[in-house]
Structure 1
């Protein structure tokens, strides 16, 4: 039995919020592309583009590696009709069936970070297994080996099985699209396996689908083994396990050696009286981070660069920044100083030099690497490398020539360079970056310190969210978390976080709403009482909104270039985001949809929260204030009275 599903039932469909015009050249090109895909994908994979910019359409199709050409084309023929029916006028869409998938877009496909789809209607029907811990262990062994096999196979497809106690067999299948390389295929499958274990590791079957890779297992045979050589991994200890045992023994031996060396190093350092927390060695920190970022040390202690996140020697970074000269300083905050640099290959970068004696700086360093080393999105700043030598902890980012958002919206001269269209695109860019963090990345990430100084602008004024030192990962079904130590920046904190330590995706939504209102008004929320208009920016905009005078809230510099209905809609969305009750605030997917379509009705906002009594204790701040710095990166710890 190959499936419980027929070709008429897709596993999942995803359609973009952006639309093309009906009966447009784009629509004509799209229909031609889908028809071509359905008739030309005889070898299991096909990609092409039709038309010229701006009406060009990119498409690709993938059929499961164990089906023949006739089955493949029949599945794709059905898929092309369903994707048009379900994603009417969507500029981007993808549909997954058990035996095939089709994707199209107005832009060229890029190899992005893994973001899987949980095929809920399929996965939720399966029963739980009796021994989940052992089951997940055996399942991981099978799927990891299949992933290695598929990433090295020209067809990027592998099936296999492994014996499980009580005479059961786990059958597995993995596959990647053929337009990505071996390393990207393995990375994609690794991410999919993480999601598979999270959603279905204790069930009798599970499936995860993605743009670039798919992964599935089941306790009954679901693939056509005759078309491929199945990989079998028996659980007995006979000779068939010889290769696996060699690998296991080698791994365990290496691990034991590392532990012994690490223990010896710790012993020597304790004899010297070194403090455990403040003087962690380069070797110890690297071993601590080795899992998440795939780094290692040679026996001589030299750094081994990872293709994912290269380590750069301190001498190279010093040369790139001219010895961390003041002339290259871009900014300074509580965790350290940021410098402009030029690497030997000519690439311009921003180097964050974390405070040398700061434990918080070390924690932020770890957090940045663990959370964003693998995150890639148009609206997130990319981490391109790091360096650790002695007490030096350095993070290397892509350079943002226009620096941070606050340099524009709060500066009377640079704000003259902004028009409404630029501001609207910046608002949209921030919203899409947050949506990726909250819903579209493999990990649900809460930023916790979103503010204009942490939104950077590239040469085209594209907004990119930065500084993930405060960010936290949420589990798949986790809604909120609580902390006794509130860290962030006053003026952008949601009230439930500032006063009770409760944070969630809605905390970031609140911060986003404040930023939207600051962009429109050109005024800061914190310290707004000094203007004489109201106690806070939120109180001021609410007062004008109730009186029907919301256009008085808009910076006069934007009035000449603005669309009044669009500005009013953005003020409305901003007010919805800063509601006191987190449950009333929209999600970022709602926000992106509201910004993208003026036809979607908006609910009436309620009064934003009033400020409450608080004690502010600075966690760490720079010893001197650089007058050339246009933003303040100070991080505060707040505690309720």
Structure 2
């Protein structure tokens, strides 16, 4: 029991140690610093370079966005630089990666003016030329995993790889961070993982052009491959080499309404018919209520006025003989006009 607990403790301790080492030391991939242009240690360019690197690795740099540019000095001694962290790493790890690489420049490129250092998690680049917002595909590096895809699966794998990576390139070019990562099902339980990234200062077209160039040079018969140039990078593997939980999965598009002729027109017709029926019904009810109110007002409370006296219509009801006598048998001399219900006669009632 004690032996088993000791093994578990040792395993846990080794995991923490390796994790700590990973967190402190990013994975070196490649560096490119041609010695065509160099500087001396105590030169003005050297001073400007130290200022630039200090600015890139300062606490005020944009680690949350994963991208920062800087310029130091003027004229022929000016230096322009940038760092770019992989789109899935945290701001904290981005900061530690940049600090590590900045310190590593003096070891790998001690006196070159043109420098690019590639690490899995970040890159640092500087030059005596203006490198900002400018596409650069110089010094391309292509790497591959030594293991081949099975020969009878190579065509299928190539189609899946190119389709996945080209989709990622299109999404990356359209995004503000110029980054995209995604996976696709290969053979159960394996998935294909792909990642592409450009420096965010590139235009959409320059980013897409750079990524497409890299994708076309990836080894499609290997289980993993990588393409690196100063302005962009592309990589694929059959294992998750990036932090999947930090990648935002695109939401599926909202379903569009059915087009006319496939249920859409008939549905609209039914709605249109229902609406007129409701409108007609409401108009009918409104007219009925209005007429009912007018009728009640006219006949329910009608009054006859005789000077200052008010007599209700009910008390003015007379029989036919009384009316015949009062009008002198409907004599023409007592006729006073024509109404909506016929002739109107003057009635003389003798109390």
TM-score of the pair, normalised by structure 1: 0.34
Structure 2 counterpart of 1:213, from 220, 232, 246: 232
**Secondary structure in structure 2 of the residue aligned to 1:34:** helix
Q: CA deviation at 1:112?
A: 3.7
Equivalent positions of 1:620-639 (< 5 A) are none
Relative contact order, CA 8 A, sep 6+: which one is greater? 2
Matched, 1:88 2:110: yes
The partner residue of 2:45 within 23, 26, 50 is 26
Counterpart position of 1:132:
154
Match for residue 10 of structure 1?
28
Q: Is the 8 A contact 1:115 1:210 kept in 2?
A: yes
CA distance in 2, matches of 1:45, 1:195: 26
Match of 2:246 in 1: 227
Contact 2:38 2:112 (8 Å CA) reproduced: yes
After superposition, the Cα gap between the structure-2 partners of 1:230 and 1:223, relative to the gap in structure 1 and judged at 3 Å, is farther
Cα drift, residue 183 of structure 1: 0.8
Matches within 5 A, 1:257-268: none
User: 1:125 offset after TM fit, Å?
Assistant: 4.0
Other-structure match for 1:181: 203
CA distance in 1, matches of 2:160, 2:139: 22
Asked whether the equivalents of residues 26 and 120 of structure 2 are also in contact (C-alpha less than 8 Å), the reply is no
Structure 1 segments unaligned to the other structure (5+ residues): 233-238, 243-641
Change (3 A) 1:231 1:117: farther
Deviation (angstroms), 1:153: 0.6
Map 1:189-208; keep pairs closer than 5 Å: 189-196=211-218, 200-208=219-227
**Which residue in the other structure is 1:172 paired with?**
194
Q: Does 1:117 align with 2:143?
A: no
Point out where structure 2 has 5 or more consecutive residues left out of the alignment. Answer: 1-14, 256-351
Distance 1:172-1:15 versus aligned 2 partners, 3 A rule: same
For the 8 Å contact 1:45–1:61, the answer to whether it is kept is yes
For the residue of structure 2 that corresponds to 1:11, the secondary structure is strand
SS class of match (1:54): helix
**Which residue is 2:73 aligned to?**
51
> Structure 2: how far apart are the matches of 1:139 and 1:115?
24
Contact 1:160 1:231 in 2 (8 A): no
Residue 167 of structure 1 and its aligned partner are, at CA, apart by 3.7
Q: Give the CA RMSD over aligned residues.
A: 2.7
Per-residue deviation at 1:128? 3.4
Q: Tell me how far apart the structure 1 counterparts of residues 245 and 83 of structure 2 sit (CA, whole Å).
A: 23
8 Å Cα contact 1:91-1:105 kept in structure 2: yes
Residues 71, 79 of structure 2: 8 Å contact kept:
yes
Q: Given the alignment of the two structures, is residue 102 of structure 1 paired with residue 130 of structure 2, yes or no?
A: no
The structural deviation recorded for 1:113 is: 5.5
Say whether residues 1:143 and 2:165 are aligned partners.
yes
The whole-number CA distance in structure 2 between the counterparts of 1:9 and 1:167 is: 27
| Distance of 1:154 and 1:160 partners within structure 2 | 17
Normalising by structure 2, we get a TM-score of 0.60
2:80 aligned with 1:62: no
Pairing of 1:532-547 with structure 2 (within 5 A): none
Q: For this pair of structures, how many residues does the alignment match?
A: 229
Provide closer, same or farther for how the CA distance between residues 129 and 79 of structure 1 changes in structure 2, counting only shifts above 3 A: farther
Deviations 1:9-51 (A, max 9, x none): 4211000221112211110111111121122141200011011
- 1:162 alignment partner in structure 2: 184
Query: Which of the two has higher C-alpha Rg?
Result: 2
Tell me if structure 2 keeps the 8 A contact 1:116–1:192: no
Alignment partners' CA distance in 1, 2:195 and 2:136: 21
Alpha-carbon distance, 1:221 to partner = 1.2
